[in-house]
Amino acid sequence: MSYAKMSKLFVRTLRQDPADAEVPSHRWLVRAGYIRRAAPGVYTWLPLGLRVLARVEAIIREEMEAIGAQEVHFPALLPREPYEQTNRWTEYGPNLFRLKDRKGQDMLLGPTHEEMFTLLVKDLYSSYKDLPVILYQIQTKYRDEARPRAGVLRGREFIMKDSYSFDIDDEGLEVNYVKHRQAYQRIMDRLGLDYVIVKAMSGAMGGSRSEEFLALSDNGEDTFVRSPGGYAANVEAVSVGAVAPGDPTSFPPARTVSTPGAGTIATLVEAVNQSAPRTDRAWEASDTLKNVVFMRVAADGKRSPLIIGLPGDRDVDEKRLEAALSPDQAEPFTDEDFVSFPDLVKGYIGPVSFSGEPTALLGADRPAGVTYLTDPRVVTGTSWVSGANVVDTHVVNLVMGRDFTSDGVIDVAEIRPGDPAPDGSGPLSLARGVEMGHIFQLGRKYAEALGLKVLDAQGKLVTVTMGSYGIGVTRAVAMVAEATCDEKGLAWPRNLAPYDVIIVIAGKDPAMVDAADRLATDLELEGLEVVVDDRAVSPGVKFADAEIIGFPTSVIVGRGLKDGVVEVRDRLSGESSSVPLAEAVGAVLRLGQSDPVEDLA
Amino acid sequence: MSYAKMSKLFVRTLRQDPADAEVPSHRWLVRAGYIRRAAPGVYTWLPLGLRVLARVEAIIREEMEAIGAQEVHFPALLPREPYEQTNRWTEYGPNLFRLKDRKGQDMLLGPTHEEMFTLLVKDLYSSYKDLPVILYQIQTKYRDEARPRAGVLRGREFIMKDSYSFDIDDEGLEVNYVKHRQAYQRIMDRLGLDYVIVKAMSGAMGGSRSEEFLALSDNGEDTFVRSPGGYAANVEAVSVGAVAPGDPTSFPPARTVSTPGAGTIATLVEAVNQSAPRTDRAWEASDTLKNVVFMRVAADGKRSPLIIGLPGDRDVDEKRLEAALSPDQAEPFTDEDFVSFPDLVKGYIGPVSFSGEPTALLGADRPAGVTYLTDPRVVTGTSWVSGANVVDTHVVNLVMGRDFTSDGVIDVAEIRPGDPAPDGSGPLSLARGVEMGHIFQLGRKYAEALGLKVLDAQGKLVTVTMGSYGIGVTRAVAMVAEATCDEKGLAWPRNLAPYDVIIVIAGKDPAMVDAADRLATDLELEGLEVVVDDRAVSPGVKFADAEIIGFPTSVIVGRGLKDGVVEVRDRLSGESSSVPLAEAVGAVLRLGQSDPVEDLA
């Protein structure tokens, strides 16, 4: 291999930010010529980007092989039937790319391959002696995201490493789960990412235990919580601790209060403090029962109102709601919907109707088709101020278990800093991250649906237990860029950079070209990958491009050459030093050795 | 890396041929556990298959880099617009997988990426100084084949290396075309395939010059011709040499002949020899003008009859017809179609109607919507026996240019062994092959449609000229398997095998396990990839599996071990020899060195 030349390299840096760039990694990967958008959420990888991607893939492959995983490769174009058998054909809803072939057969573009791996193992294996086995692929996935964003950070076509473990029993699954957890830790370390492992929801995947690897990032879409005592969970997966029920008979009777215009929690608190003041203290938002109504949309399209009752000082957290309802979805309840359900009085919804005699509007005798779920804090023996289902009217002293009940518990209120960790390990703090990996103990869901059984040692057919483990490969490139870039451009860690060194010819003296050529050749002999910037542009343009592209090391062959020196610059630290030409190779190699990420790898 | 163990390897060999296997490579790749069908024409690659695929990809990548091509990676999921601009959205017909995203936008799964590469170069480049450039990708393609067949030999999801050259002028295009031609020759040589380069049709791709690389195979779908003088062409691309026109006035007048029941060429020849015999010699099939009617279906769905007149001793070649009409298609003319066009009398179609006064039924005054095209041999001054468009009636002395004309020439008659090569280089012979590569001089078709222009040295905007070059990667794996397998299974050349050596433990003596372990470790230290067959099955099963899977070298550690010897077997030659254990590594390495393909690589 000989070194590359900037004059030939298929790369052009852009002076302007792309119009749709929301986050730094997207901006710089486009501006530095690593990726280009082909369609919304669908990207082309240019030569520089592809080289980084290959390095990330190599790390992941090494760590998967190290835990004994064997690589296979599934198609992206898949038949409907297996996904029908697990119901995911329907449950994936609009996130699934569906198509028909020329014969009218339903097909899909694989969003993840649990079904196919299950069937493959069923095809090849039949005995407990064949297990355990871990299979993986690094493969292109498709999800028709509602809001593709941030370049390759959340795309509709993306590369994922997905692996699957197959075991005869739960102990085996636990072993393979832990193997993956450790492999993912090594991968995240080698990528140089600052990350946290949090308890997660399983979502559409099903299964019991799951954890996410979140890379810390203020631009992340995921919010997670941590406690001083070591609790860590995606905000979607936090369970509010159970509240002990009280005695529902110990409260004064419920009564209506006139609350003209008090259609919000703030105005309600003000109104009841005026017209029905408490003697011990003022009413607070946390004394009110907020009833938020959504239209729940099942995967098969069925729509029905869902009312969520929660303390009035908290809002429903959209992501927690989405996770709790999955695969169903919640849509806003529109004015037309209110017309269709005249029992629900906008702004004054409550669990009991006081329009005439008190009657249970919600709860057991609710209007047909309406579901009423309550926050875990709304337990028997708690007293609330809530809507009376009559305009300008509320009820006080409305007691759960005495005056109303609900159809069940839903734990979707926002989590706030300072809330107690469910395990008693102290107050929670919140931060944001990007989901880089997700490991699941699937259990027997897929094996049961698709009939993956093997003979055990007693000759009895038993259902196999599975794990599934994903890590975003294209997303990892974006996330490393996001974590390392600065105001000048990309700044790759040495083990992931598209090239190790750029040699900038900063002048027109032919001696500079000769020196650059010799230096490049010597560096390549040392195993480094080198680009020489031989373009007929000013040194300033070359320096700026070297910084935008983010080569870890620049060697500038310029005016100093007549005194026998070149300049060696480190992109990450910004440090620069003049070294004699004859010592340049050694200086570059020493920079590489001092890199902590390189050492780790 | 430590060696692999058969007891852990995700592979199971099958004793039975898969029901749908039509060709040996398909049969053995499935039986030996390299691939599995996921849907018609859509395959999963198991660990062994994926390793061979990776070796093939590495060869292709090396040869592409050697001609200065730069690797990029496009999505498979593409927007409709660019394919609309070149009309391929329509022209691809049912071969294109089309789908809509959640917003109802039309998208497609890329069958080939001319449009996207053109737009990418337009995005990044603007000057003649930027050119030439060659870009390539190794990427998954989708074509909804009507008849996917032969496993991964013709799939609907497959991997292709596609590259594209961009030049300012035709001379540059020629240089890049020749570079690719040579690179493809090296790739075919390194794959060990017996191949021929033939003149080809450009098909849906458009453009001027193109050649195919066909691997010789009796099971191949492509037929090609060769002459002793060096002419070589896909049968679709053969042009029959022009025949000199004669004097149309030198023939006796046309007259009808009663030919009851003579609805075929054979019965017609018999009938006219009886009722209207020639004086000089008997009528022959080649004296008759056969008129074959098809329903031509345009890409937009329009249907119209197409009649092809050709010498009665030849049939229409379906693949030549398909290529000549592309992107239109020809369907059989049904009995219902004959009802709709009563002027066409089945079995008695001819270019002139003799039902009352002779009138030109076909040619200039043909029925509305009917096209009449003739074979190049049907030139002015040739005389024919043909149908009279009246039941049981034919015409003799029907002279082209005097009694009838056609709408044009169509060169789709079958080519027969012994036909003269169009360039006068001797008689043609026919053989079959599989298309492994195709190189095209596209010219400016795509650049014009998509506005790819750059400034030339004079500051004038000029349209770029392009080449496109494809090679089937998954197909190459199948074709190498096809060319090398035998009655016992696969038999990989050493440079493509999934592993270099299998060490078979042929017995239960723990000393055999120890010896196998030491030998495997020593061979891996020499850079070879080794599997040890440590399974608790009989030596016979192990030997059979080693042969089916096709490891180039087997080392059998069995009874001979107590005398200090092992057996070294070569899969390709079938030769076997006993060697002292201490010399086994050397013996294995020598086998590798003697392999001609390995030397080449």
Facing residue for B71 by CB, picked from A50, A65, A73? A50
Contact B98 A102 (CB under 8 A): no
Contact B47 A70 (CB under 8 A): yes
B403-445: per-residue pLDDT in tens? Answer: 888 888 999 999 999 999 988 899 999 999 999 999 999 999 9
- A43 CB neighbours in chain B (<8 A) are 75
- Domain B248-399 annotated CATH 3.90.960.10: yes
- Homologous superfamily (CATH) of A24-238+430-482 is Bira Bifunctional Protein; Domain 2 (3.30.930.10)
- A45 CB neighbours in chain B (<8 A) are 72-74
Facing residue for A78 by CB, picked from B39, B95, B97? B39
Q: What is the pLDDT of residue A227?
A: 94
B553-576: per-residue pLDDT in tens? Answer: 999 999 999 999 999 999 989 899
Spans of all domains in chain B: 24-238+430-482, 248-399, 492-600
Q: What is the pLDDT of residue A342?
A: 81
Q: What is the pLDDT of residue A352?
A: 79
How much is the mean pLDDT over chain B?
91
Residues whose CB falls within 8 Å of the CB of residue B321, separated by 6 or more in sequence, listed in order: B294, B308, B330, B412
Facing residue for B123 by CB, picked from A36, A79, A99? A36
Contact A44 B71 (CB under 8 A): no
- Cα B432–Cα B434–Cα B440 angle in degrees, nearest 5: 115
Q: What is the pLDDT of residue B521?
A: 97
Q: How far is B129 from chain A (nearest CA, A)?
A: 9
- B61 CB neighbours in chain A (<8 A) are none
Facing residue for B36 by CB, picked from A50, A120, A133? A120
Containing A495, the helix (H) or strand (E) segment is none
Whole-angstrom Cα distance, residue A337 to residue A290?
Answer: 19
Of residues B7, B30, B33, the one with CA closest to residue B20: B30
Residues whose CB falls within 8 Å of the CB of residue B561, separated by 6 or more in sequence, listed in order: B507, B509, B511, B512, B515, B581
Hey, what are B425's tokens?
Answer: 């280089």
Whole-angstrom Cα distance, residue A155 to residue A479?
Answer: 13
- B39 CB neighbours in chain A (<8 A) are 75, 77-79, 107
Strands (E), A95-219: 97-100, 106-109, 133-142, 157-167, 195-199, 210-216
Cα of A440 vs its chain's centroid, Å: 14
Sort strands A383-390 and A195-199 into parallel, antiparallel or unpaired.
unpaired
Contact B12 A107 (CB under 8 A): no
Facing residue for B146 by CB, picked from A46, A53, A102? A102
Of residues B52, B44, B47, the one with CA closest to residue B158: B44
Total beta-carbon pairs less than 8 A apart between chain A and chain B: 135
Hey, what are B146's tokens?
Answer: 């009507």
Q: What is the mean pLDDT of residues B77-92?
A: 93
Q: How confident is the model at residue B600 (pLDDT cuts 50, 70, 90)?
A: very low
Facing residue for B77 by CB, picked from A42, A68, A79? A42
Whole-angstrom Cα distance, residue A168 to residue B347?
Answer: 69
Contact B70 A101 (CB under 8 A): no
CATH C-level class of A494-600: alpha beta
Contact B9 A73 (CB under 8 A): no
Contact A79 B39 (CB under 8 A): yes
For residue A10, the 8-state DSSP code is S
Under 8 Å between Cβ of A515 and A523: no
Whether residue B132 is preceded by a cis peptide bond, meaning omega within 30 degrees of 0, is yes
Q: Which of B101, B157, B329 to mutate to test the interface with A (most CBs of A within 10 A)?
A: B101
B238-287: per-residue pLDDT in tens? Answer: 988 778 888 888 888 888 888 888 888 999 899 889 988 888 999 999 99
- B76 CB neighbours in chain A (<8 A) are 76, 140, 157
| ipTM for the assembly | 0.89
Contact A76 B140 (CB under 8 A): yes
pLDDT above 90 coverage of chain B, percent = 72
Contact A156 B33 (CB under 8 A): no
Cα of B157 vs its chain's centroid, Å: 15
Facing residue for B38 by CB, picked from A70, A78, A125? A78
Q: How far is A398 from chain B (nearest CA, A)?
A: 45
Under 8 Å between Cβ of A496 and A480: yes
B492-600 and B24-238+430-482 share a CATH fold = no
- A165 CB neighbours in chain B (<8 A) are none
Hey, what are A329's tokens?
Answer: 């979805």
Please say whether the dihedral angle defined by the alpha carbons of residues A122, A126, A132 and A137, taken in this order, is positive or negative: negative
Q: What is the pLDDT of residue A363?
A: 53
Q: How far is A109 from chain B (nearest CA, A)?
A: 10
- A142 CB neighbours in chain B (<8 A) are 77
Q: What is the pLDDT of residue B504?
A: 98
Contact B76 A76 (CB under 8 A): yes
Type of residue at B167: D
Contact A99 B94 (CB under 8 A): no
Q: Is the pLDDT of residue B306 over 60?
A: yes
Cα of B419 vs its chain's centroid, Å: 23
Residues of chain A with pLDDT below 50 are 596-601
Which pairs from A218-222 meet CB under 8 Å and 24+ separation? A218/A432, A219/A22, A219/A23, A219/A24, A219/A150, A219/A432, A219/A434, A219/A482, A220/A432, A220/A433, A220/A434, A221/A154, A221/A432, A221/A434, A221/A435, A222/A319, A222/A432, A222/A433, A222/A434, A222/A435
Strands (E), A183-320: 195-199, 210-216, 222-226, 232-234, 255-258, 289-297, 303-311
- Report how far apart the first and last C-alpha atoms of chain B are (Å, whole number): 23
Of residues A512, A515, A566, A506, the one with CA closest to residue A539: A506
Under 8 Å between Cβ of B52 and B45: no
Q: Which CATH number fits domain B492-600: 3.40.50.720, 1.10.3480.10, 3.40.50.800, 2.70.150.10?
A: 3.40.50.800
